Amino acid sequence: MAPVATTEATVLDLATSSTRAVNERLTSPEAPKTVTVTGPQGAHALACGLDSDIDVTIEGHVGYYCAGMNQHATVTVTGNAGVGVAENMMSGTVRIKGDASQSAGATAHGGLLVIDGNAAARCGISMKGVDIVVGGNIGHMSAFMGQAGRLVVLGDAGEALGDSLYEARIYVRGTVASLGADCIKKEMREEHLTELRELLDAAGFDADPSEFTRYGSARQLYNFHVDNASAY
Amino acid sequence: MNTPNPALRESATFDRGVISEIQRAAETGIYDIRGWGAKRKLPHFDDLLFLGASMSRYPLEGYREKCDTDVVLGDRNAKFPLHLDIPITIAGMSFGALSGQAKEALGRGASEVGTSTTTGDGGMTPEERGQSKNLVYQYLPSRYGMNPDDLRKADAIEIVLGQGAKPGGGGMLLGQKITERVAGMRTLPMGVDQRSACRHPDWTGPDDLAIKIIELREITNWEKPIYIKVGATRTYYDVKLAVKAGADVVVVDGMQGGTAATQDVFIEHVGIPTLAAIPQAVQALQELGVHRKVQLIVSGGIRSGADVAKAMALGADAVAIGTAALIALGDNSPRYAKHYEELGSAAGFYDDFQAGQDPAGITTQDPELSKNLDPVEGGRRLANYLRVLTMEAQTLARACGKSHLRNLEPEDLVALTVEASAMARVPLAGTTWIPGAL
């Protein structure tokens, strides 16, 4: 495809190009450092598999698995994102200026995912090291089986937060509808306030860490025992 | 079973195995978790026979005339489909469930005879990638160790939706096998039970799967064949949906499939036999017009060249072996009879793969026990076994007049039992009757 060169960034237009062509361009060794993608109209698997420090802005709404398995890149979506945005991200930054559908940041191993709006159910499901900061609310079963990383929620959390949590840490400013199995409220010590402040700063949110509550694993279900059977 | 006193009559309902399990359950309060696949007798390939050629068919000379064995997997969409020399592959078994030496041995053996091996629930190890000419990388619900670099290093990607031993169930790697290395690969603390989810976290059905496959193709530049693996249950529908979702290869794992560790009640009571699954899968592929275009791999209890040939005659393009490969490496060998007895078992019966105490050094993470398996010797044994399977399948195919294993067909088979006839959809021996056929 022939990119349209502008003074600010190379523009790739999905109205005239396929997702395959755009992704090929973004992952090419000769890819420009700054790219704007226009006309996504809910396209799936957009900007997935990026593996360089490229800066990509997608103007509009994206479909499933946008920025999946991202490494090193900075991806900004000006609209909403579909299911599994930044799934299995390894590093880099993904920012959604609108809302995100379910399973945002699923199984992600690293990097920073910022959602300015709300995230639906299962945000951070099975997270393995990623940091996720959500400006609004999150849906039910978020951080289910979360293994590592931090989930920060400036709004409210839905039912069964942190069910079957391992070592991921959760900070919520608003209300929590209910906690999942083995997830408990924990003390906010100074190191947690510091950690939270750094996460909020990195995500660009102005909020007071002291207003948040920390949640984590009670570690009662780490090894199966019949006495715990009723907890499952 | 003999009893000490002929006057004693054992209950058919409460036999000694059942009594022992009730006693064990009452004592521990937890269900039995084990490996080694289904132990009950099930309709199997043994219930089928080949019709060798005589007058109405023309056989090929067993040691003179050529019978090819190669297979191409995943040539529907991928830039680089897999070309295997034999249609017998190694099924996915995780590092964690298996030792590093075992994974290396599998890679060595498979590569020596030109076939593929498969990762498992736990990520890709350098030992396995280094020794495997063709390595299939499993994309599992747990996503342990999943990363795009390893996806790109793989020769094919297998999306696992189910396993024959536990369709609908997740895995459980018990804490005693979680060493520092295993824990690091899975991003979990040492010694903690590792539950593998029963479903993928970021999709909820076949429509989502179609999009997921596109994502994986995009990340790997449309180079790798995409397999979808299902446990054999509603096979006809599952295979149709897998094809619609975009699979290049469908893997159907029957209930005789082995597993490193799952609940006994699951292994014995969920899923359908491999024999029953193949005709359903083939029917689905044929109705979609993609039989032989979307390749079918079947697994679950494959032991001999006869099993291989029968699976292919029923319409499979290739088979995968798991438990048999471990036995070939040395699992349950009489060499370790004394050690098995010390563990309360016996050579040929050992199934506590979850315990991490395998004296053969295969299903363990104990560094001392792992040394009992020499990966070079293990690889040689596996290669020998794969060669035997291939030669056995070839000799049966030649007897049916076939110059390639893929030319075997249902017409070459008859069934010994009414049940097998109905499941495999081949005639009862000596008749033209297939129960249930229209």
Which amino acid, residue B163? Answer: Q
pLDDT tier, B131 (very low <50, low <70, confident <90, very high otherwise): very high
Domain membership of residue B136 as a residue range: 47-330+373-424
Write the pLDDT tens digit of every residue in A67-118.
999 999 999 999 999 999 999 999 999 999 999 999 999 999 999 999 999 9
Average pLDDT (B262-270) is: 93
CA distance B159 to B116: 16
Nearest to B247 by CA among B184, B156, B321, B309: B156
The full DSSP string for B133-166 is: SEEEEEE-TT-TT--HHHHHH-SEEEEES--TTS
CB-based contacts of B104, cutoff 8 Å, min separation 6: B127, B128, B130, B131, B375, B379
In a domain, B360, yes or no: no
Average pLDDT (B20-34) is: 91
Nearest to A23 by CA among A69, A92, A61: A69
pLDDT tier, B3 (very low <50, low <70, confident <90, very high otherwise): low
Look up tokens 């947690």; give the residue.
A192
Our CA angle for B242, B116, B114, nearest 5°, is: 135
Write the pLDDT tens digit of every residue in B96-120.
889 999 999 999 999 999 999 999 9
Restricting to A residues 76-95, those with a Cβ less than 8 Å away from any Cβ of B are 83-84, 87-88, 90
Work out the minimum CA distance from B146 to partner chain A, whole angstroms: 8
Would you tell me how many other CB atoms lie within 10 Å of the CB of residue B199?
12
CATH assignment at residue B269:
3.20.20.70
In a domain, B435, yes or no: no
Write the pLDDT tens digit of every residue in B290-316.
999 999 999 999 999 999 999 999 999
Q: For residue A32, is pLDDT > 80?
A: yes
- Low-confidence winner among A8-22, B191-205, B240-254, B274-288 (lowest mean pLDDT): B191-205
CB-based contacts of B345, cutoff 8 Å, min separation 6: B351, B352
Residue B103: half-sphere exposure toward Cβ, Cα within 13 Å: 26
Backbone angles phi and psi of A26, in degrees to 5: -70, -30
What's the pLDDT at B2? 58
Domain count, chain B: 1
Task: Tell me if chain B has a CB within 8 Å of the CB of A223.
Answer: yes
What's the pLDDT at A228? 65
pLDDT tier, B63 (very low <50, low <70, confident <90, very high otherwise): confident
Helix (H, G, I), strand (E, B) or coil at B125: coil
pLDDT tier, A4 (very low <50, low <70, confident <90, very high otherwise): low
pLDDT tier, B326 (very low <50, low <70, confident <90, very high otherwise): very high
Write the pLDDT tens digit of every residue in A197-211.
999 999 999 999 999
Q: For residue B1, is pLDDT > 60?
A: no
In a domain, B350, yes or no: no
Which residues in chain B are contacts of A63 at CB distance < 8 A?
211
Identify the residue among B152, B157, B202 best suited for mutation to test binding to A, counting A beta carbons within 10 A and taking the highest: B202
Q: For residue A221, is pLDDT > 90?
A: no
Residue B186: half-sphere exposure toward Cβ, Cα within 13 Å: 31
Q: For residue B178, is pLDDT > 70?
A: yes
In a domain, B231, yes or no: yes
Check residues B49 and B260 and name the one with the higher pLDDT: B49
CA distance B102 to B320: 17
Tell me whether residues A44 and B197 touch, CB distance under 8 A: no
Identify the residue among B219, B221, B223 best suited for mutation to test binding to A, counting A beta carbons within 10 A and taking the highest: B219
pTM: 0.95
CATH assignment at residue A162:
2.160.20.60
Average pLDDT (B305-328) is: 98
Domain membership of residue A142 as a residue range: 41-218
Tell me whether residues A90 and B148 touch, CB distance under 8 A: yes
- Low-confidence winner among B11-25, B190-204, B217-231, B355-369 (lowest mean pLDDT): B190-204
**DSSP state, B417?**
S
CB-based contacts of A208, cutoff 8 Å, min separation 6: none
Tell me whether residues B215 and A19 touch, CB distance under 8 A: no
What's the pLDDT at B260? 79
Which residues in chain A are contacts of B202 at CB distance < 8 A?
65, 83-84, 87, 102-103, 106-107, 122, 125
CA dihedral A209, A210, A216, A218 (to 10 degrees): 170
Write the pLDDT tens digit of every residue in B355-365.
889 999 999 99
Give just the sign of the alpha carbon dihedral B88, B140, B144, A108: positive
Work out the minimum CA distance from A60 to partner chain B, whole angstroms: 19
What's the pLDDT at A230? 64
CA distance B430 to B224: 46
Q: Quote the mean pLDDT of chain B.
A: 94
Average pLDDT (B138-156) is: 96
Q: For residue A6, is pLDDT > 60?
A: no
Write the pLDDT tens digit of every residue in A108-120.
999 999 999 999 9
In a domain, A181, yes or no: yes
The full DSSP string for B345-358 is: --TTT---GGGS--
Write the pLDDT tens digit of every residue in A161-200.
999 999 999 999 999 999 999 999 999 999 999 999 999 9
Backbone angles phi and psi of B68, in degrees to 5: -75, 160
CA distance B356 to B28: 19
Strand pairing partners for B291? B294
Q: How many helices (H) and strands (E) does chain A have?
A: 2, 12
Restricting to A residues 23-62, those with a Cβ less than 8 Å away from any Cβ of B are 23-24, 27, 44-45, 48-49, 51
What's the pLDDT at B28? 87
% of chain B residues with pLDDT over 90: 83
Task: Tell me if chain A has a CB within 8 Å of the CB of B220.
Answer: yes
In a domain, A18, yes or no: no
In a domain, A32, yes or no: no
Domain count, chain A: 1
CA distance B79 to B85: 19
